[in-house]
A and B are shown apart, each in its own frame.
Chain A
Amino acid sequence: MAPLDKKIKKFLKNTIRIAPKISDKGELAELRTGLVSQYPQTRKDAIKQTIKQMTLGKDVSTLFPDVLKNIATNDIEQKKLVYLYVMNYAETHPELCILVVNTFVTDAQDPNPLIRCMAIRTMSMVRVDKILEYIETPLRKTLQDDNPYVRKTAVICVAKLFQLNQELCVELGVIEDLKSALGDENPMVIANSIAALTEIYSLDESVVDLPNLIQTNTDKFLSALNECTEWARVTILTALSEYQAADSLEAQNIIDRVTAHLQHVNPAVILATVKVIIRNLPSIDGAKRDLIMRKLSSALISLMSTPPELQYVALKNIRIILEKYPEILSKELRIFYIKFNDPLYVKIEKIEIMIRLVDPSNLKQCTLLLNELKEYAMEFDIEFVSRCILGISQLAIKYADERFIQKVLDILVELLEPGQDAIKDSCCEAMCNILRHCPTNDAMCKQVCSILNSWASPVTSLQKDTAKCNYVWLMGEYPQYFPGLSDKIDQFVENFTQESSLTQVALLISVVKLHSTLSGNTLQTVLELATHDIMEVDVRDMAMIYWRCLSLDDSSALVEQLCNLHAPVINCSIDSFTPEVLERLLGQLGTISSIYFKPMDHSKHKRLQHQNIIRGKHIDELQNLAKNELESKNNDDILLDFDSESVATNTTGNPQNNNLLGDLDDLFDFGPSTTSNSTPTGDITSGLAQTTLNDTNSASKPSNTTATQDLVDLF
């Protein structure tokens, strides 16, 4: 009976759980008792509880030594839990981790690969340089480990180490190991090595010659491609997209070998493959190119049946590709028709694509799209509807046929049925843009003006600045079609000071232009308001100049000359990228910059190093430091809601600032940050591209603002 008895005892010991004691010393004390309990299950529960508190943002760092006692165990789950705890504090309390260093070193030799990995992974995250020195042996060993699972973890640790301590990393020479890992037999190790090298390269280009490494290993990458996980494929393909093929033969070879991946189920793999192909496409021509184009097109379309976020990424990238290869999706307009349950951000991007995709020589297609847009324009959301209406005007200008434009106008009128005040803004803009496309069509001007003139009080019914600006411009341009003009202008003038500068400038110009027909009073008021009450320099200067011109002796001829200029004819209201920007964007497909259309500059983009490693202290000094910290915490041993933030600031305050500055730098690096006021008048497209660059989030805005802007710039 004895063995059975023993068994039962053992079983009880293992499974028994002690209910946590409610003690008046607070929750921390309870946890501590649990952590040192003699029953394994209770200890484990206590660790879990501790981690839970940690997750909730409470500071449980004082329990560190007690949690640590549980690390020496055969129970892998318990070990994992302890490591989880340690890993969390590795970042905020690096000095505490010194207490674990010996365990790390032993665990890195554990027979279980999982434990070896955990040890090395955690160790490379602790920001204490003395610990980092201990890392040498385990890291070297694991880099040569028999188990590929361990090797793939170890290669990433090199990058982590590099991020924490560049000098040490270089000194240890592990980067050389990393480079040789590119020749590993296991594809996942190769992929992770590429990723690690890419990371190191992005931090400091002088340490590794990544382009050269990619160049020399292309064959290896291509053969590893077919045998690894989806994510490894993404990494390898991304590396391949940096590769410059020597000639068209090689380019063709690369394309042939990656094309199969256009049929992978993972959208990220597809997009990475597209990127490689696009990179090599320029050196291919003839029939082969058409074949590749067909495959690309089908792959891009397939991205439209993915989750909305990925559709969004795909749509943004399609817009870039479309500009370089406009023929690519020409037969696929219908794929981009809007589904009524698409999220709004997808809907708007779809309109952007459709407007660009539609073939202006194909009346049938244009009419189809027009009907679709009209349908969408009857939806709920005002922002979406505005985009549709603008889209309708863009389509009209793109197709550029008077009969078609007339049809478009009729649709706009139909949409503007009574009660639809909210869309007046966008209709006004759309109509004015159309008029600016065909300024000579008198009947149309008359029609538009009479519609707009019928609106009771444009000052209040129009909300958007751009719409008001357009309205005022129209009054100045075609005063003959606005009966009761002076009343309308007076209404605007009354509100002059509350308008924003676009409208003010437009109003100023129109009033000057019409000064002979309006009562002298109006002109006087506007000039006075603009010069006295307005802080905006541009408006004031402009008013000043006009005033001086008008007060010259023979002013009429001069003013005549000034006012007779016409806004440039709009031939295309769809914004496009400058060739240079486009090329750079094509090289960055799939990245965040491709979403913002804001190409990243590799040479300028260097993230700052974090110099917040605890340095130059001896181990025993650190141990003292750790003990002191624990003791001082113990004194106020109540589990208050320590804001994890405030604790964290001690160690991370530094990088925050660095980050901030670095990112500010980044912001200023992009594109010319001229305000659109100085945009040259004539060249609409280049102006548009610039604004697109400067604008991060709303890519749809620039087209109308700039179009409106040059109304103003004209003078």
Chain B
Amino acid sequence: MNFKKLPYSLLVKICSIVAFVCMFFPLVVVSNGGQVFTKYNGWNLISGIDFSASLDVLAETQQTATMDIMLLVVACMIISAVALSVKNKYGLRIGAIASGLGALATGLFIVEMNNGLAMRIAAIAADSQYSFTSWPEFSYTAVLFTMLGVLVLQFAITVLANIFSPINEVQTTLLQKRAITGYMFLMPFIVGFLLFFLTPAIKSLVFSFSLVDVHGTGGYTVNPAGWYESATGTIFVPANYYRALLVNVDYPTYLLTSIGNLCTTLPLVVIFSFFAAVLLNRAFKGRGFVRAVFFMPVILTSGVILAIETSDVLMSTMQASFQSQVSSSGSTGMQAFELQTMLTALNIPEKIVTAVMSVVNNLYAIISASGVQILVFLAALQSVPRSLYEASSIEGATGWEDFWKITLPMVSPYFVVNIVYTVVDCFTSAAKIGDQYSSYSSILDYIYDVSFVQMDYGLGSAMSWIYFLCIALIMAVVVAIVNRFVFYYDER
């Protein structure tokens, strides 16, 4: 059998997909409240972890270590899979090293799991509230199964690397060298992603599937709760996702309101920023000054200033009352009101009037939210090749035709960019959820309140993950729709 003839990359791909699926195995266990392994007598991955200060430091560090080592296994698998797809000696070496590290980490993981379990069982035994009598016997079986699976996978990857990598091809080509240099340039981000994004994100995901009890000393206890409900002893406790969507009164309303707000803000911001970019792209006197002013909100109205200006409802009611104190008429609010009465007097349908009024009232918010988008569009407008306009003017096209036939198609990819950015910006910054719900300025404020004031971390994380899913879904839909109309001049 000639190994060289086999579809090398396909096998590696299949292998890494299997490995990738396996990485989610612990998460599946967690998301089911530890119920996957009922046949192994109910092995729970992180059940009853107690970080409280009353336990000694050893137990605490072991628990953290267990979690982190699990992540190390994941990281090693990803690295080995990626490295092995680079088909040269470096790829092989990196892949082999990563696989070895992965195996080592799996070993650590097993040791830690056992130690950690022992510690936990001791801790739980001391606490009369829990009575998991059947714990000690099964844990080894389950852990051994996981370990075996991971080891077999690592072994398979290593063997595949040995067989299918072109070892005789010692000389790397220029392209391969450049690929490796490219990875080196990306290294800061990859390390940061694993360390400062994936680790907290997975922990937060685990929290969202658990009941998190916070102790006064700064420690906390995590109990698996799953999707819908969990029974602690005999008492029925609805789990976080269930509570967030079906029990909590405020959260669904806030969620829908902020999604509705996005639907009105998104087109306004994108269209306004395109309009402003087209305006600023013209040559006119004082362009430098005008550009400086247009980008000023990005710089000056950010973070705490923005929070104070717009999102902090307490403050804005203060300002509203302050304005009414300062001037009985003549303020902007009053003029907007007059515009509204004028429009209604003109027999314009009420829906249109409210839509126009929402634009007029939010004009400043829209302008200050579109600074970065204007920057992106301006750069895009500048990058349209002049030769296209020259050719069209020779053909006798007017400025109007130039705009629709050249400018818009050439700039259209940047609409996708700006839509993504606007959705992100709307959702992650302090977006207002409307005046009728005036106790919180934004849904993120509400989540913050739930997590850090009401001390319900599990519910808070569940809410923010639902929120994130909504963002991702909306973004995917909008981008998919817009992508149909986008024209790509050259694929680089």
Say whether A associates with B. no
Residues in A lying within 8 Å of B, measured CB to CB: none
Residues in B lying within 8 Å of A, measured CB to CB: none
